[in-house]
């Protein structure tokens, strides 16, 4: 029988709409909920991707009445939504939003929340399904999880699912992440836990898998026989904003290297999954994370920095130690770079240089494969003076796309070869704009699709990479760099030590 593609459960072309359900957001009045979650819910509603029977239940401490809450959430959605504003969509959604006020340590408030969730069954027909989003300070995770356990809210039963979404940071080192994982696992089943690394919701990150595994062109050279080195960069031009309290005890390595950069490394280096499913992709990523080696010579190959005052986009900006809420003698790093190895047959001997920093010249995230030079050039040396290594660059943000850099003859009567770029830009090839990462990931949570969410073992394997770096850095002073520059000199020296240079994205 010829399979009917419309009936094929693997056909992903049709928009998937979740079953009736509720989304419960703990910390609905917070920064993340206002800037990302509420707008994402509106965008999903606007695209017709929420089930008809849907309810959003917000919980926070602030004493907001229903009217005040409705007005503020409308403003948040309106200001940060990606898709055009349609009042009627919001009106319909607003009718499905409820606010419960209370403190996490207040049993009565949680009992009321549980009762409200039960009531939604009757009023909104949510089928008992609910996803709980912990958009709260990590220190509150244990309290909230225990309350959910006490009230029975976390229990999945046949025909009713209960899921939890955990925001990073997933702990602050290996022991604390193990503790957190054990706690979450004691309340929710392993398939019901969704750890958000919003980078994985970005379209280009998923395109990396398409680029590698849907084509024949790239995979044969995607290995140490052809690749000289890999550079993964996440640069931010902003400082720490109002997040001094969080940042002071976190720093760039824990904030970005542990999660976003190591996940990008895993996707770049992993083997082809047996199929495009959560289980198989996570299995391949985990193998890579476990195969990562940290440098023996950390003095040279693990560099951290801290920005000093400088100039950015024509404006004078403060140094990190002068930021409000930062200790004037702070040793927290705002820049981290490291040379990692991936001990597999495909990658042995290929350095993976990772770097991230704040107050760098521009906001850019990219993965660059730098290829080996041709073993022989049949040109005069002067003809190829301006020829660099071939490079394949996957740009995650902004201007998502892929660039191929290679040598080409300069027009004219003499033979001269110089680097040129071939660009693929998402915005130019496709008319449909990419969904926001949170939009995509929230939908996946409601659908129960865990493909883009790292699992416990991945988080723990990542901390196993970061912990030795943190241990080496503890108590040392980060190298200074001026705001508006590409990090400290020591980071340049790290690459120079092996005859390489950082890309200037």
Q: What is the binding site for ligand NAP (CB under 6 A)?
A: 27-33, 60-62, 103-104, 135-138, 140, 167-168
Among the listed residues 373, 292, 390, the one whose alpha carbon sits nearest the alpha carbon of residue 338: 292
Assess contact for 321 and 330: CB atoms under 8 A. yes
Q: For the CB of residue 101, give the shortest distance to ligand NAP in the complex, in Å.
A: 8
Q: For the CB of residue 195, give the shortest distance to ligand NAP in the complex, in Å.
A: 11
Assess contact for 25 and 56: CB atoms under 8 A. yes
Residue with the CB atom nearest ligand NAP in the bound state: 30
Strand ranges inside 276-363, DSSP E: 292-293, 302-308, 310-312, 315-317, 335-342, 352-357
3-class DSSP state for residue 397? strand
Q: Which is nearer to ligand NAP, 171 or 341 (CB)?
A: 171
Q: For the CB of residue 320, give the shortest distance to ligand NAP in the complex, in Å.
A: 19
Q: Which is nearer to ligand NAP, 138 or 388 (CB)?
A: 138
Q: Which is nearer to ligand NAP, 259 or 403 (CB)?
A: 259
Q: For the CB of residue 332, give the shortest distance to ligand NAP in the complex, in Å.
A: 16
Which alpha helices (H) appear in 292-353, and where do they start and end? Answer: 298-301
Instruction: For residues 240 and 302, give the distance between their C-alpha atoms in angstroms, rounded to a whole number.
Output: 22
The one catalytic residue in 124, 198, 260, 479 is 260
Q: For the CB of residue 62, give the shortest distance to ligand NAP in the complex, in Å.
A: 3
Instruction: For residues 15 and 262, give the distance between their C-alpha atoms in angstroms, rounded to a whole number.
Output: 31
Residue 393's contacts (CB-CB under 8 Å, 6 or more residues apart) are 366, 367, 368, 369, 402, 403, 404, 405, 503, 505
Q: For the CB of residue 256, give the shortest distance to ligand NAP in the complex, in Å.
A: 10
Instruction: For residues 52 and 74, give the distance between their C-alpha atoms in angstroms, rounded to a whole number.
Output: 20
Q: Which is nearer to ligand NAP, 193 or 211 (CB)?
A: 193
Q: Which is nearer to ligand NAP, 32 or 261 (CB)?
A: 32
Q: From the CA atom positions of the chain, what is the Rg in Å?
A: 24
Assess contact for 205 and 264: CB atoms under 8 A. yes
Q: Which is nearer to ligand NAP, 90 or 99 (CB)?
A: 99
Sort 125 into a burial class: Cβ within 10 Å, 0-12 / 13-18 / 19+: middle
Q: Which phi-psi region, left, alpha or beta, contains residue 349 (left: φ > 0; alpha: ψ -120 to 50)?
A: left
Assess contact for 69 and 77: CB atoms under 8 A. no
Q: Which is nearer to ligand NAP, 121 or 255 (CB)?
A: 255
| Half-sphere exposure for 260 (CA within 13 Å, toward CB) | 23
Q: Is 260 a catalytic residue?
A: yes
DSSP code for 34 = I
DSSP code for 377 = -
Q: Which is nearer to ligand NAP, 193 or 402 (CB)?
A: 193
DSSP code for 128 = T
| Half-sphere exposure for 44 (CA within 13 Å, toward CB) | 29
Q: For the CB of residue 172, give the shortest distance to ligand NAP in the complex, in Å.
A: 11
Q: For the CB of residue 140, give the shortest distance to ligand NAP in the complex, in Å.
A: 5
Q: Catalytic residues, which ones? A: 260
């Amino acid at each position: 029988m010829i399979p009917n593609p419309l009936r094929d459960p693997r056909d992903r072309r049709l928009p998937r709409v979740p079953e009736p359900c509720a989304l419960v957001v703990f910390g609905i009045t917070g920064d993340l909920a206002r800037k990302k979650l509420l707008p994402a819910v509106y965008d999903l509603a606007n695209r017709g991707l929420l089930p008809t029977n849907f309810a959003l239940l917000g919980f926070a401490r602030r004493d907001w009445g229903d009217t005040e809450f409705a007005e503020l959430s409308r403003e948040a959605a309106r200001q940060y939504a990606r898709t055009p504003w349609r009042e009627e969509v919001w009106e319909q959604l607003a009718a499905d939003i409820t606010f419960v006020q209370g403190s996490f340590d207040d049993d009565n408030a949680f009992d009321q929340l549980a009762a409200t969730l039960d009531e939604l069954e009757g009023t909104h027909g949510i089928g008992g399904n609910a996803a709980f989003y912990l958009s709260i300070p990590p220190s509150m995770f244990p309290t909230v999880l225990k309350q959910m356990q006490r009230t029975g809210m976390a229990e999945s039963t046949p025909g009713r699912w209960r899921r939890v979404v955990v925001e990073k940071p997933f702990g602050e080192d290996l022991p604390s992440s193990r503790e957190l994982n054990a706690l979450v696992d004691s309340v929710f089943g392993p398939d019901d836990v969704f750890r958000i690394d919003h980078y994985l919701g970005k379209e280009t990150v998923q395109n990396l898998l398409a680029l590698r595994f849907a084509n024949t062109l790239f995979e044969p050279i995607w290995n140490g026989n052809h690749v000289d080195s890999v550079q993964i960069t996440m640069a931010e031009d902003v400082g720490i904003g109002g997040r001094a309290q969080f940042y002071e005890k976190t720093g760039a390595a824990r904030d970005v290297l542990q999660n976003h950069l190591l996940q990008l490394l895993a996707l770049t280096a992993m083997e082809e999954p047996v199929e495009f499913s959560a289980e198989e992709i996570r299995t391949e990523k985990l193998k890579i994370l476990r195969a990562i080696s940290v440098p023996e010579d950390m003095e040279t190959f693990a560099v951290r920095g801290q920005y000093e005052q400088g100039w950015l986009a024509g404006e004078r900006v403060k140094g990190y130690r002068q930021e409000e809420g930062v200790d004037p003698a702070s040793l927290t790093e705002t820049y981290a770079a490291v040379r990692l190895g991936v001990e597999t047959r495909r990658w042995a001997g290929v350095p993976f240089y990772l770097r991230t920093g704040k107050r760098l010249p521009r906001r850019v995230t990219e993965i660059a494969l730098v290829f080996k030079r041709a073993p022989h050039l049949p040109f005069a040396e002067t003809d190829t003076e301006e020829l660099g290594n071939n490079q394949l660059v996957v740009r995650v943000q902004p201007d998502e796309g892929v660039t191929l850099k290679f040598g080409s003859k300069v027009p004219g009567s003499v033979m001269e070869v110089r680097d040129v770029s071939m660009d693929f830009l998402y915005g130019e090839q496709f008319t449909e704009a990419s969904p926001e990462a949170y939009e995509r990931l929230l939908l996946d949570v409601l659908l129960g699709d865990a493909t883009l969410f790292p699992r416990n073992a991945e988080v723990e394997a990542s901390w196993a990479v970061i912990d030795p770096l943190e241990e080496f850095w503890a108590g040392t002073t980060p190298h200074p760099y001026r705001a508006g520059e590409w990090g400290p000199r020591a980071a340049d020296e790290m690459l120079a030590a092996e005859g390489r240079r950082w890309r200037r994205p």
